[in-house]
């Protein structure tokens, strides 16, 4: 594991990540010295759609998805919103701390 000025680099956990599929764009905004807080994430699969028309999905806490990779939660949410006819999605969380284990949220 990489080291940084403050010790061990933040590892939010989660072993399953996949590269964004072809034709899908996205980005994420992080905060913290080690990107341990994800403030917002977005995905767009219909390039003609307006971000103002996308649904907002609110989760408990941010996990491993980032600007270039999906995690299982984002993959499922994308599939749902595609079936519903949306062209993208915004992902927000009640807690911005990135973790896949509930016990890690108490830190």
Q: What is the pLDDT of residues 19-64, one digit of tens each?
A: 999 999 999 999 998 888 999 999 999 999 999 999 999 998 888 8
For tokens 């949220």, what's the residue?
A: 105
For residues 38 and 7, give the distance between their C-alpha atoms in angstroms, rounded to a whole number.
20
Q: How far apart are CA 76 and CA 16, in angstroms?
A: 13
Contact between residue 96 and residue 38 where contact means Cβ atoms under 8 Å apart: yes
The tokens describing 102, both together, are: 């509930």
Q: What is the Cα–Cα distance from 73 to 59, expressed in whole angstroms?
A: 9
Task: For the chain, give the mean pLDDT.
Answer: 85
pLDDT at 99: 82
Contacts of 75 by beta carbon, 8 Å cutoff, 6+ apart: 18
* pLDDT at residue number 107: 62
Across 92-105, average pLDDT? 83
| Res. 7: pLDDT tops 70 | no
Q: What is the pTM of this model?
A: 0.80
């Amino acid at each position: 594991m990489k080291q940084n000025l403050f010790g061990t680099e933040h590892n939010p956990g989660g072993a399953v990540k996949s590269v964004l599929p072809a034709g899908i764009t996205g980005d994420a905004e992080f905060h913290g010295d080690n990107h341990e807080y994800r403030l917002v994430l977005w995905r767009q699969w219909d390039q003609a759609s307006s971000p103002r028309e996308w649904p907002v999905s609110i989760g408990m806490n941010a996990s491993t998805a980032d600007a270039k990779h999906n995690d299982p939660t984002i993959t499922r949410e994308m599939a749902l919103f595609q079936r519903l006819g949306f062209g993208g999605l915004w992902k927000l969380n009640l807690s911005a701390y990135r973790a896949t284990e509930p016990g890690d949220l108490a830190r």
